[in-house]
Structure 1
Amino acid sequence: MIQEISAAVIWCLALCLLPDLKRRKDKSILVAAVTIATALTLNVDRIYNAGDQVLGSRNLLDLVANIFMVMGIYFLSRAILRAADVSETVRIHNRAGLLVLAIVVVALIVSFSLVDAPRSSTSFMRDFGSQWPAAVYSSVQFLYIGAVVAITGLTCFRFRGEMARSYFRVAFVFIGVGCALAVVLVLAVLGMDVLHLMGQLDAMTRLSYVYDAALVGAMVFLCVGLALPPVARRLERRSDARAAAVLVERLSGPWDRITSERSEIRLDLAQTAIDRHDAPKRRLHRMLVEIQDALFVDPHLARFLSQNDLDVLREAEQHLGARLAASRVRPLRLSRKGDATP
């Protein structure tokens, strides 16, 4: 049941990330979510039994799932570290991280090959964990996961205060807490491995409850933290688009009066009415550019602007914000007398 819940949570994260697939340059988080979700899904009993039977009932699917897991953790860490710190140091760590990942994958394959596991088992470590190769197999995987998530969590807490937007700061706190719970999970697994080797099965069973709780908690906190920024950005874009659409409607009157004699450069509203969240903002930006260009060429056109029109122009400039600073739009200094100065 724990595996099903964890897999469902991660798949939900992947669905939250899909709408921004084209916008996002770095797809590491989506790759990580799909990879980790696949690893957890392969460990669901019914899927594991069916899949491992196809592979010869030698628990090869357990190896495949664990390789997917460490790969997913690598991509997850890389995405979070890039978001927190874009310095050259992170890129160097990425190259070193790939090398470490390759070593871990090789170690998993070698240690797994030494485990005597003659039958398919949905509880691989419970059934075969008394063997030293199995303990090494488990420890290699979780030591790697523990080291990676510990570094990632510390980075989140370190850089959370430097994030410009509040939802990024909240997201980094969630991710940091999720990484802390993942470290608890790793410690629980290592403890269970040692107890199994010692034959302390009752103590191992009690510690497994810590593992189950930490697994669900880590997945929930990590997924909420990772899903928060893209969901918040989508809501922000929709709100921004609604506000821009209102300003476009309010600016249509002064735009029509000021640019009526300059039809060769006027915006074709019908052609720009496309179903995109950024369309209203683009239309507003173009209208404002045309008004200000017309006023720049002929400042006397300002006499056609009422005080309400000037207020709308100021609101449009404020709404566009940073885009105005980086564009060819020249903010106007408008007076109550109707004079316009570029």
Structure 2
Amino acid sequence: MMQLLMAAALAVLACARIPVLRRNRKDTVFVAAVLACGAALLTDPDVYVAVDHAIGGINLARLIMQMLMVLGLWFLRSALLHAVAPGTRNTLLRRSPLLVALGLLVVFFLMVGPTHTTTTWGDEFEGEITGALFSVTGIAFISWVCGEIAVVCFSYLRRLRGTFRRGFTMVGTGCTVGCLTMAMMAYGVIAHALPGVDPLPWMTPDVYHGLELLSIADVGIGLTMTAVAGHRRRVRIARWEKEAFEMVQPIREHALRVAGLQRTLEADDEAPLQDRLHRMIVEIWDAELAAGGDSVLTPEWRAYLLEVERKLDMEHADLHRTS
């Protein structure tokens, strides 16, 4: 039941990102949520058995589950790093940790040897070094990614405000919980494989699942908050741009008429309203220059146009950062 709750929480996050996906034609957070949802579904024993029987009955679903978890966290990491540094490129060198982790998962899975479908992988295979290495590889990678995301989120907080700040705080908190949970889980696997290492008696499967659900809930709520806040901001900006367009249009017509100029830039009615507004302001300044010493603008109009230009630049920067 706990596994299905985690999958449901991730499905809700994916649904919350659909508007962003439609607008941008792609969304890394959506991909991350879908991959993680698939992994969470496979943690449910009934789903796991059904899927594994369908693909050969050799615990291949275990490998797929681990790889989905690794890929999901990697995509989330990429999305947050891009939000902090938009110029970041996902080059082969930067993808090397992901490629190494996926490669090791495949190698260690093959080294475990022929297996049968089981929902108790830990009890049956983590007592052997190859089974333990397979599990620890995925767990350690997830712990590292969660830790890095937490550091990025908390480092970025000073540049945010309002809902975005609260959303990133929740994402960072959730990833911190996830990092610590995975670290303790890795310790448990090592303790199972090495007789001389004592396990943590209070870290039962229910505790693990509870902490995982808490981590996923925090991250999901935080990312949903930022998505909703971004949508509201875009609606507010669109409303302001429409009002500014209606105010600037008669000013432009007056300026061109007084300066004796025709339209200086070709109109594009299909262009975004922000671009059309910027074009009109450029035409007004051209008319002002053409008028020579006689200004075609009142002081109030000039002040308003300067304020519109300032807000256009500011809103463009905000949208680029939070889209």
TM-score normalised to structure 2 length = 0.76
SS at match of 1:265: coil
Distance 2:295 2:86 in 1: 46
SS at match of 2:204: helix
Q: Which AA in structure 2 matches 1:70?
A: V
**Partner of residue 216, structure 1:** 213
Q: Is the 8 A contact 1:258 1:294 kept in 2?
A: yes
**Partner of residue 32, structure 1:** 32
Shift of 1:214: 1.4
The answer to which of 54-63 and 122-131 deviates more is 122-131
Q: Which AA in structure 2 matches 1:279?
A: P
Q: 1:211 to 1:194 in 2, by over 3 A?
A: same
Q: Which AA in structure 2 matches 1:290?
A: E
Shift of 1:313: 3.1
**Partner of residue 160, structure 1:** 157
Shift of 1:173: 2.5
**Partner of residue 137, structure 1:** 134
Does residue 1:54 correspond to 2:50, yes or no?
Answer: no
Shift of 1:142: 0.8
Q: Is the 8 A contact 2:174 2:214 kept in 1?
A: yes
Q: 1:154 to 1:75 in 2, by over 3 A?
A: same
Q: Is the 8 A contact 1:167 1:228 kept in 2?
A: yes
Does residue 1:282 correspond to 2:279, yes or no?
Answer: no
Length, aligned pairs only:
312
Unaligned 5+ runs, structure 1: 326-342
Distance 2:68 2:57 in 1: 19
Distance 1:75 1:212 in 2: 22
Q: Which AA in structure 1 matches 2:58?
A: R
Distance 2:315 2:98 in 1: 41
Q: Is the 8 A contact 1:172 1:225 kept in 2?
A: yes
Distance 1:96 1:296 in 2: 52
Q: 1:45 to 1:207 in 2, by over 3 A?
A: closer
1:207 to 198, 204, 207: 204
Kindly name which structure, 1 or 2, has the bigger radius of gyration based on alpha carbons.
1
Deviations 1:132-184 (A, max 9, x none): 543332222112222232233234333433x3666554444323212211123
Distance 1:236 1:97 in 2: 32
Q: Is the 8 A contact 2:20 2:27 kept in 1?
A: no
TM-score normalised to structure 1 length = 0.73
Deviations 1:13-46 (A, max 9, x none): 3344444448769955444333222222333444
Q: Is the 8 A contact 1:255 1:287 kept in 2?
A: yes
Matching of residues 144-293 of structure 1 within 5 Å = 144-161=141-158, 163=159, 169-193=165-189, 207-260=204-257, 261-265=260-264, 268=267, 272=269, 279-293=272-286
Q: Which AA in structure 1 matches 2:256?
A: T
2:308 to 308, 316, 322: 316
**Partner of residue 337, structure 1:** none
Does residue 1:295 correspond to 2:288, yes or no?
Answer: yes
Q: Which AA in structure 2 matches 1:294?
A: A
The answer to which of 121-130 and 290-299 deviates more is 121-130
Deviations 1:283-307 (A, max 9, x none): 322222222211211157746x556
**Partner of residue 7, structure 1:** 7
Shift of 1:12: 3.1
Distance 2:102 2:276 in 1: 52
Q: 1:23 to 1:39 in 2, by over 3 A?
A: same
The answer to which of 315-324 and 6-15 deviates more is 315-324
Distance 1:20 1:301 in 2: 48
| C-alpha RMSD over aligned residues | 3.9
Shift of 1:230: 4.3
Distance 1:61 1:158 in 2: 37
